[in-house]
Chains A and B, each alone.
Chain A
């Protein structure tokens, strides 16, 4: 009996800490949905124009691809690759869940669909599906807060997200959210089977136009070897006017 109620028991300590964490979360009045909505406020926008550099680490060498993207909501997106020379002029257009790629070398517009959307983009750790899905997290996932932790020397809330829609790449996600700035600092994406598919580390969180935004993201496809793919935001502008013609097939050529 004495053993069971021993306050020094690790089980009792862990239970107490978890209970206290959950009580403190309740006391702050935050539930998972509210937290996720705050994350969405930081990451999602009506539209944005972003210039970025994606560094892909191959077995032999690494290479960096720069691009400029225009995005409107979660339905429209247009990307133009700027460097290296072999990729320059290649353009990608997403409209209502459909994806087209144009390359000047072949002067062809090719539609990407079906299982191809799960393929890696240019040998990176990102799939076309990853690049296409701009939906708000709170729209596609149910969320529960599972605990608190410390990451990158910051207090974080640990969230477990389970898909509430069927057309989604990752059935489950585990997220470490900066408890103060509401930006994810780490994400783990899982298949329905529980298999860990991808891990994402988000760093260099900056204040941009009244929101917190991670300017460096490292994606790691857990099903393949390699050092992962770094995605660095060079510049980003939210809620800028974007001409409608950008999101048309005519702009591909």
Chain B
């Protein structure tokens, strides 16, 4: 019967062409939008984790309260000792020191006086360590526009936009002006080794990346660090793993404090606990379900309508088949088989068209920088689709399900036909 039905579908294009086009279009859109949204959200989460949040983060309790203002006066004082403890506590996690800061970058003229200056945000990271993964996390090598990576202390990277704004080139120097951990004046000279573009407008306006040792010296934080970030070995953010580490660490510290409240005691939070990240993670999780629901619903309505029209067109055919003694259930099942085949063919075509497009955008990306001129959120300007195992099958779910559902609803009419009225209906 399946072979017979397939022949019917292929030969009677009036019966199958429109539903196949509709199903293929729906599957194509589902695959594309799923990959697009998970790509955008996934890259944003990864970028935030690498730049700001880590997967877990340790700070003093006082620092954590105002973490967005980078209150380095409330930093962890004995950073090395805490890092050693953390490495013993959870050896699989890569623990790294970070100093975040806001400062003024002052660009001198030939007499050493202010020629131009602008506010910058900055990171002190382990740039020069031989086994450091920090340059990769910031994707520094690929982001380099001019010059080279810093090779010694006293060298820093600045964003290309900042360099162009103040007409400064690799090899030239500038001064960071801010506050030390104790609140004093912080003046620190740095040589620009290279310029970078991160692809996130908010950062590209003005950012400085320097080695953690330079940051400690610049802000009078020798031996201290603002934050300790932890990166789990998993490729994607492992919520359960991060939560478990956080719970264990914080429980240990509560135990160690004997119930006394110390605002400078370390506290651990996860990526999810940090501003806006919980919503972003929940949104990403909801995206695929929402996509399937919307497409199944919309396409089911379209295909139900198509099925009804087909049912009307095939009204006589079903009548003849009933008059010839074919069972109503058999006709209904054959209709569903037919829908399953059309849904499968349509989905295969839709997914087959979508995948090359998705792969292309995954490799080359789409530059939306022009649309994000005033964006303050950390979002990549070059957006890529994300390809996961789900990408390969998600298009089949609305494609097949909606076709079968549409025909199942339209086919109910078969059971309303009465054999006694068939001769009248068929005008025999």
Binding site for B on A (CB under 8 A): 56, 58-61, 63, 65, 86-87, 90, 100-101, 103, 105-111, 116, 120, 122-124, 249
B260: interface (CB < 8 Å): no
Residue among B73, B108, B179, B263 making CB contact with A108, cutoff 8 Å: B108
Nearest residue, chain A, Cβ from B263:
A59
Question: Given known contacts A56-B183, A87-B185, what 4 new A-B pairs fall within 8 Å (CB)?
Answer: A86-B184, A106-B187, A110-B106, A122-B183
Known contacts A58-B73, A59-B62, A60-B73: does B182 contact A110 (CB below 8 Å)?
no
Assess the A59–B179 pair: CB atoms within 8 A. Answer: no
Nearest residue, chain B, Cβ from A56:
B183
Q: What secondary structure prevails in chain B residues at the interface with A?
A: strand
Known contacts A60-B264, A111-B113: does B104 contact A123 (CB below 8 Å)?
no
B117: interface (CB < 8 Å): yes
B203: interface (CB < 8 Å): no
Assess the B189–A111 pair: CB atoms within 8 A. Answer: no
B180: interface (CB < 8 Å): yes
Assess the A107–B112 pair: CB atoms within 8 A. Answer: yes
Tally of A-B residue pairs with Cβ under 8 A? 69
Residues of B within 8 A of A61 (CB): 182
Residues of A within 8 A of B198 (CB): none
Residues of B within 8 A of A110 (CB): 104, 106, 114, 117, 175, 177, 187
Distance, CA A86 to CA B219, complexed state (A): 11
Residues of B within 8 A of A103 (CB): 185, 187
Nearest residue, chain A, Cβ from B71:
A59
CB distance from A114 to the nearest CB of B (A): 9
Assess the A108–B183 pair: CB atoms within 8 A. Answer: no
A-B interface, 3 closest residue pairs, ranked by CB to CB distance from nearest: A123-B183, A106-B187, A111-B114
Assess the B187–A108 pair: CB atoms within 8 A. Answer: yes
Residue among A90, A105, A106, A123 making CB contact with B179, cutoff 8 Å: A123
CB distance from B155 to the nearest CB of A (A): 16
Distance, CA A110 to CA B114, complexed state (A): 5
CB distance from B104 to the nearest CB of A (A): 7
CB distance from B121 to the nearest CB of A (A): 15
CB distance from B170 to the nearest CB of A (A): 20
Residue among A123, A124, A249 making CB contact with B73, cutoff 8 Å: A123
CB distance from B67 to the nearest CB of A (A): 15
Q: List 23 A-B contacts (CB under 8 A).
A: A56-B183, A59-B62, A59-B74, A59-B263, A86-B180, A86-B220, A100-B113, A103-B187, A105-B187, A106-B189, A108-B187, A109-B112, A109-B114, A110-B106, A110-B114, A111-B114, A111-B117, A122-B179, A122-B184, A123-B73, A123-B182, A123-B183, A124-B183
Most buried by A among B106, B187, B189: B187
CB distance from A72 to the nearest CB of B (A): 22
Residues of A within 8 A of B182 (CB): 58, 61, 63, 86, 123
Assess the B112–A90 pair: CB atoms within 8 A. Answer: no
Residues of A within 8 A of B62 (CB): 59
Residues of B within 8 A of A109 (CB): 112-114
Distance, CA A63 to CA B108, complexed state (A): 31
Nearest residue, chain B, Cβ from A253:
B112
B188: interface (CB < 8 Å): yes
Residues of A within 8 A of B104 (CB): 110, 116
Among residues 185 to 199 in chain B, which have CB atoms less than 8 Å away from a CB atom of chain A? 185, 187-189
Residues of A within 8 A of B106 (CB): 108, 110
Residues of A within 8 A of B188 (CB): 105-106
CB distance from A156 to the nearest CB of B (A): 33
CB distance from A130 to the nearest CB of B (A): 16
Residues of B within 8 A of A111 (CB): 113-114, 117
Distance, CA A90 to CA B184, complexed state (A): 10
Distance, CA A59 to CA B264, complexed state (A): 10
CB distance from A85 to the nearest CB of B (A): 11
Distance, CA A60 to CA B180, complexed state (A): 14
Most buried by B among A108, A120, A122: A108
Residues of A within 8 A of B114 (CB): 100, 109-111
Residues of A within 8 A of B183 (CB): 56, 58, 63, 120, 122-124
